[in-house]
Structure 1
Amino acid sequence: MNENFRVTSDSETYQYTTRLMQSEATSYAYQSWRRKWRGKGMEYTAGALIWQLNDCWPVTSWAIVDYYLRPKPAYYTISRQLAEVAVGITRTVIQNRDHDRPRQFYEFGAIQSHGARIDILGMNSSLQSIDAELELYCVDLNSGWFHKETRGVHLLPNQSTELISMPCPGPPKTSARKDADPYKVPEWTNSSSVVVSARLINSSTGEVLARHADWPQPLKYLRIPDPKITVKEV
């Protein structure tokens, strides 16, 4: 857990972090399994069992609902991934050399990244194909830069559909630093602080059919700006 989240000695923060980690992990797992239901002749994963749903006594566990029947964050992420229509995002970081660190890590010593690729997929469990608008929205946490585009997409029935594979958008590069080592990476990445969000929207009604957001990893390195939101109890 400490590789992706900041170390804390505060009990409430630690408990929240464990639930967030569970939510992130289960969301990625169910998305990956469902993605492998690719259509005729490519039904590599046909389903997954949720273990476990709820606790039968107050305890620390991997259940997605606690003993008092309070849903944890993982309950909602799994529900979203297993909805009849869902959208998912995977990010592959491109680095200057192979190494034994998780691929989502952007920088580690001599390991430097110079880009990332995002793959967006749609999942449709109904028996009818679906025409929709795919809304892609990217925002940089450091500069406020954003990018938005919309594309028409077609989801095949009862399978996953690969929708987009593209370089991860990012703000303009302000420097032209060159890598001095033999690997000759042209420039460092400009997407390591970019959040990518995708929504599937019904073309006729404007209804949001599915949504998903991909945050750059590790989360502990992000400096999230204050959204300046005020909540008042009425």
Structure 2
Amino acid sequence: MEFSVMLELLFSGLLFTLEIFVVTLVGALPLGVPVALARMSKHKWLAWIARIYISVMRGTPLMLQLMAIMFGPYYLFHLNMGPDWKYWACGIGFIINYAAYFAEIYRSGLQSIARGQHEAAEVLGYTRAQAFTRIVLPQVVKRVLPAIGNEVITLVKDTSLAFVLGIMEMFSQAKALAASQVSMVPYAIAALIYWVFNFIVEMALTRVEKQLAYYHD
């Protein structure tokens, strides 16, 4: 097989990897907010629901969760979800898994802000909403950004788990090419692409951190 054809197949898989990456961030980053607030709720039943959800998502393998979502509707309710269900199952699985991790990151960030800052904002005449958006939120974002960055980088690598659902993302393409060509070259190229992908993510996160540097703890 020509090298150009191999690259073309790997980059076709990379498109699926990028789709999983973007869909997960778009869904999980905002979903983590209500989960974090529920976890911090004064209503014990709501806090316990959020706590159990987070515990299950973080305490069981993502691969197992993907398989449960993929095959659960059929084995539990005898529902045939159709050929496109694997893509929906993949998106849902990644989103609800990563939302649990982001929720805990948000919670730790919110709880790290001293109560005195809220009180000072009230003295200055800020409403609760203004105090949160103008004073608390920027500091929370700065504090949680490194932890979120670690999860985002982990997500890049976790996209390879989509292979259990039969989705031909980049790792699956590399594995198929390596088997057909009896060569480690596809794996080496895939590793290089993953590294470049993560390097770009790291550079983007570093730039955001620098922009938030004027918020001192």
Task: Calculate the TM-score normalised by the size of structure 2.
Answer: 0.25
What is the TM-score with the length of structure 1 in the denominator?
0.24
Q: Name the larger-Rg structure.
A: 2
Q: Quick check: which one's helix share is greater? A: 2
Higher relative contact order (CA 8 A, sep 6+): 2
